[in-house]
Chain A
Amino acid sequence: QKEVEQDPGPLSVPEGAIVSLNCTYSNSAFQYFMWYRQYSRKGPELLMYTYSSGNKEDGRFTAQVDKSSKYISLFIRDSQPSDSATYLCAMSGASNTGKLIFGQGTTLQVKP
């Protein structure tokens, strides 16, 4: 059983759709929750960073953290073909080094 579970997809949606991505985790010590976007043959790029429970919005992106359920989500509104990428959830705070524990990643394709 992995510490962080994420459905790998692939997920295919039409342009303009609302996309919902999520991860579950088992370690209650995690305190920091992130979503990274990774294009093919590129390094991960940080999209959202959340501390503890709650919601955070940035443009078309909304991140939600529910620590009681050990569940995090990323919503993408008005999805664009340029959003086609792999989305990785990541968590930290269970150690004193800041190392990230990643989910497997969900591959998203937004069709024009």
Chain B
Amino acid sequence: GAGVSQSPRYKVAKRGQDVALRCDPISGHVSLFWYQQALGQGPEFLTYFQNEAQLDKSGLPSDRFFAERPEGSVSTLKIQRTQQEDSAVYLCASSLGGEGTQYFGPGTRLLVL
């Protein structure tokens, strides 16, 4: 079956622009996670959804970051007024729930100029 997909795969934005990153999880997966991976670092947790409920957003670095999953399936991570420090790979992962295995998408590579 299909894995986790993300789009776009690459995004170049000018500083100050808003961007929207999309994640299509594996069908039937209840849990959805967003992570940010800076160059040469491990992924860092941003936010977590259980179905449509955002249960943990403690990792979002500022109020410019916003995530939603309105129907409990596709999720969008939005970054407003992008800054150079937002340049990173944004990874989405989904799981059946709880402490189940997380399956990662290929990531969206964001470059803010």
Task: Name A residues whose Cβ lies closer than 8 Å to a Cβ of B.
Answer: 4, 6, 8, 31-32, 36, 41-46, 49, 88, 90, 92-93, 95, 97-105
Contact = CB atoms under 8 A, between A and B. Distances in A.
A98 B93 CA distance: 11
Nearest to A32: B99
Interface residues of B, number: 30
Contacts of A98: 31, 33, 48, 95, 97-100, 102
27 contacts: A8-B40, A31-B99, A32-B99, A41-B109, A43-B4, A43-B104, A43-B105, A43-B107, A44-B104, A46-B101, A49-B101, A92-B99, A95-B56, A97-B55, A97-B56, A98-B97, A98-B102, A99-B45, A100-B33, A100-B43, A100-B45, A100-B102, A101-B45, A102-B42, A103-B42, A104-B40, A105-B41
Contacts, number: 67
Interface string B30-44: 010101000011111
A4 B33 CA distance: 19
